[in-house]
């Protein structure tokens, strides 16, 4: 049996949808076809803004792709963006030549060209796709892909939410040259502010001019209609290219079940999510009374209110929504330690060990380095099939680094010297600024090839904080 489904570009509304009934487990021969066409888009999520965006199928973010685990995805990429581009399938274990890593697994698809990505998406969960060549990630070439897990608990309603922000493109080049000056916008009470050292610059690299959820800014964001008694699943992606985002639903606790699409050892209940660049979280809440509440991305940016959507029960669509303050003071937010648990002892290290020091080189922050080198001169990890590899990061810079590995799911085993009782399965994890350490372990059991390992902060990645895991 072969099935086709084509997506229409129909604005942000299609991105927020109830979970379709899961059909019988897919036959392995099922193929789901999507066409993704990249092209320029004049993007105006707020009045007066006319952003020179790039979009898949005419929307920022690109269409929500859904597939059932076991089906094959065939995505025809047509590049009309005006520049070379590839699509990277973030969080997927897939044949190396389908990974979309520019210059590593394929040459960029030229403007006017096309490429067919075909693979069986794995593992299941909330994943995403994005340009992996130049500034496409900053300009809008990203979207979410949900690989439904037929074994998952059924939600009464589900919302797929991409948190993203519109950069001031004029701040990108200075950021890359290490002379960027943008305001720091982490919320009061956030670890980003608490962990600052006295000589930190109180600045960010890139400035943002609008703050969106699924393509729109408040009050134009899509309303999320729920019913009393429902168990609602949120799938949240932080597609901001440089900033961690805190996400909170007023009046509710959130039960976090998945990190980067992978099940947590046990669900964790929190007030707010902490979502690093490129991370995803699945979080559930229960609607216990009628009402209207804001789901918000928290920050100290004066325009932070734009990144909000109303969640309401029937008949409450016009009630003023309950909101949260933009501060994290006293807020119980998600941490890796809460999810993995601490208090155990470190299991003895098996396998190879790599120590990576993340630093910002000699010339301010125009070079973001691993062991003093920028890509492609950084030290590589060479693996044989089934090797166990331990990577320890030490962050000597004054910014967190969301480190990402292509084509694998790794386990976070230790944070700042403290072992996790249950390691966390992830594909992207934040290494804390100012001396923070993080340890990963993974098994080299993915398809052979060359897999990028890099900081997902778009500036740091372009400025060299990247290396490769290579099967030999």
Q: Which residues bind ligand C2O (CB under 6 A)?
A: 88, 90, 130, 132, 278, 404, 406, 452, 454, 456
Q: State which residue, 252 or 456, has the beta carbon closest to ligand C2O.
A: 456
Does 378 bind Cu ion (CB under 5 A)? Our answer is no
Task: Return the residue matching tokens 């950069």.
Answer: 167
Closest listed residue to residue 415, CA positions, set 191, 163, 190: 191
d(CA 171, CA 175): 6
d(CA 447, CA 451): 10
Q: State which residue, 53 or 136, has the beta carbon closest to ligand C2O.
A: 136
Contacts of 274 (CB under 8 A, 6+ apart): 244, 246, 333, 334, 335
Cβ of residue 361: shortest distance to ligand C2O, in angstroms?
21
Q: State which residue, 339 or 461, has the beta carbon closest to ligand C2O.
A: 461
The option from ligand C2O, Cu ion, none interacting with 132 (CB < 5 to 8 A, set by class) reads ligand C2O
Cβ of residue 213: shortest distance to ligand C2O, in angstroms?
19
Helix, strand, coil tally for the chain in percent (to 5): 10, 45, 50
Cβ of residue 313: shortest distance to ligand C2O, in angstroms?
36
Q: State which residue, 159 or 375, has the beta carbon closest to Cu ion.
A: 375
Cβ of residue 89: shortest distance to ligand C2O, in angstroms?
9
DSSP 3-state of 306 = helix
The option from Cu ion, ligand C2O, none interacting with 211 (CB < 5 to 8 A, set by class) reads none
Q: State which residue, 164 or 406, has the beta carbon closest to ligand C2O.
A: 406
Cβ of residue 402: shortest distance to Cu ion, in angstroms?
7
Cβ of residue 93: shortest distance to Cu ion, in angstroms?
24
Cβ of residue 105: shortest distance to ligand C2O, in angstroms?
11
Does 367 bind Cu ion (CB under 5 A)? Our answer is no
41, 84, 117, 140, 153 from 57: Cα distances, Å: 10, 17, 16, 11, 31
Q: State which residue, 99 or 306, has the beta carbon closest to ligand C2O.
A: 99
65: tokens are 């792709």
149: tokens are 């897990």
The option from Cu ion, ligand C2O, none interacting with 455 (CB < 5 to 8 A, set by class) reads Cu ion
The option from ligand C2O, Cu ion, none interacting with 426 (CB < 5 to 8 A, set by class) reads none
The option from ligand C2O, Cu ion, none interacting with 90 (CB < 5 to 8 A, set by class) reads ligand C2O
Q: State which residue, 133 or 328, has the beta carbon closest to ligand C2O.
A: 133
Among the residue ranges 122-130, 217-225, 422-430, 459-467, the one whose residues contact Cu ion (CB under 5 A): 459-467
Contacts 24+ apart (CB under 8 A), 340-346: 340/265, 340/412, 340/420, 340/421, 340/422, 340/423, 340/424, 341/265, 341/420, 341/421, 341/422, 342/418, 342/419, 342/420, 342/421, 343/421, 344/419, 344/420, 344/421, 345/419, 346/413, 346/414, 346/419
Q: Give 44's DSSP letter.
A: -
Residues in contact with Cu ion, total (CB under 5 A)?
Answer: 4
Cβ of residue 460: shortest distance to Cu ion, in angstroms?
3
Task: Return the residue matching tokens 């670890």.
Answer: 191
Cβ of residue 438: shortest distance to ligand C2O, in angstroms?
18
- Segment 392-451, which members bind Cu ion (CB under 5 A)? 401
The option from Cu ion, ligand C2O, none interacting with 460 (CB < 5 to 8 A, set by class) reads Cu ion
Contacts of 464 (CB under 8 A, 6+ apart): 361, 367, 368, 369, 370, 373, 374, 375, 378
423: tokens are 């390691």
Contact (CB, 8 A) for 109 and 101: no
- Could you give the count of Cα atoms lying within 13 Å of 217 in the half-sphere of its Cβ? 16
Binding site for Cu ion (CB under 5 A): 401, 455, 457, 460
């Amino acid at each position: 049996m072969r099935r086709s489904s084509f997506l229409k570009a129909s604005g942000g509304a299609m991105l927020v949808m109830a979970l379709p009934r899961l059909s019988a487990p897919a036959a392995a021969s099922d193929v789901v076809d999507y066409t993704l066409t990249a092209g320029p888009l004049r993007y105006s999520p707020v009045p007066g803004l006319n952003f020179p965006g790039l979009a898949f199928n005419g929307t920022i973010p690109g269409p929500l792709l859904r597939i059932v685990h076991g089906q094959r995805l065939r995505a025809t990429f047509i590049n009309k963006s005006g520049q070379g581009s590839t699509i990277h399938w973030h969080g997927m274990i897939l044949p190396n030549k389908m990974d979309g890593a520019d210059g590593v697994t394929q040459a960029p698809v030229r403007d006017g060209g096309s490429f067919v990505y075909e693979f069986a998406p794995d593992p299941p969960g909330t994943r995403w796709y994005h340009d992996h060549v130049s500034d496409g990630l900053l300009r809008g070439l990203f979207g979410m892909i949900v690989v439904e897990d037929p074994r998952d608990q059924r939600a009464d309603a589900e919302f797929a939410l991409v948190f993203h922000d519109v950069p001031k493109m004029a701040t990108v080049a200075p950021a890359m040259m290490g002379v960027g000056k943008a305001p720091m916008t982490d919320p009061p009470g956030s670890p980003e502010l608490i962990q600052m050292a006295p000589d930190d610059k109180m600045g960010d690299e890139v400035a943002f001019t609008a703050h969106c959820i699924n393509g729109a800014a408040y009050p134009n964001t899509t309303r999320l209609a729920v019913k009393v008694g429902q168990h609602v699943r949120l799938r949240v992606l932080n597609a901001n290219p440089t900033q961690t985002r805190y996400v909170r639903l007023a009046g509710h606790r959130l039960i976090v079940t998945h990190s980067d699409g992978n099940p947590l050892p046990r669900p964790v209940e929190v007030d707010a999510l902490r979502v690093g660049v490129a991370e995803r979280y699945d979080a559930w809440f229960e609607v216990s009374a009628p009402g209207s509440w804001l789901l918000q991305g928290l920050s100290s940016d004066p325009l932070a209110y734009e990144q909000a959507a109303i969640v309401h029960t029937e008949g409450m669509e016009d009630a003023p929504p309950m909101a949260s303050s933009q501060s994290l003071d006293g807020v119980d937010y998600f941490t890796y330690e809460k999810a993995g648990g601490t208090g155990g002892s470190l299991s003895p290290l098996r396998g190879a060990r790599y120590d990576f020091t993340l630093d910002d080189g000699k010339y301010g922050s125009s070079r973001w380095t691993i062991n003093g080198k920028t890509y492609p001169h950084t030290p590589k990890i060479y693996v044989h099939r089934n090797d166990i590899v331990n990577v320890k990061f030490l962050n000597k810079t004054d910014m967190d680094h969301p480190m990402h590995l292509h084509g694998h799911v790794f386990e976070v085993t230790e944070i700042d010297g403290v072992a996790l009782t249950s390691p966390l399965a992830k594909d992207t994890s934040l290494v804390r600024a100012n001396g923070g350490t993080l340890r990963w372990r993974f098994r080299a059991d993915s398809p052979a090839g060359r897999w990028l390992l890099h900081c997902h902060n778009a500036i740091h990645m372009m400025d060299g904080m990247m290396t490769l895991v290579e099967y030999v």
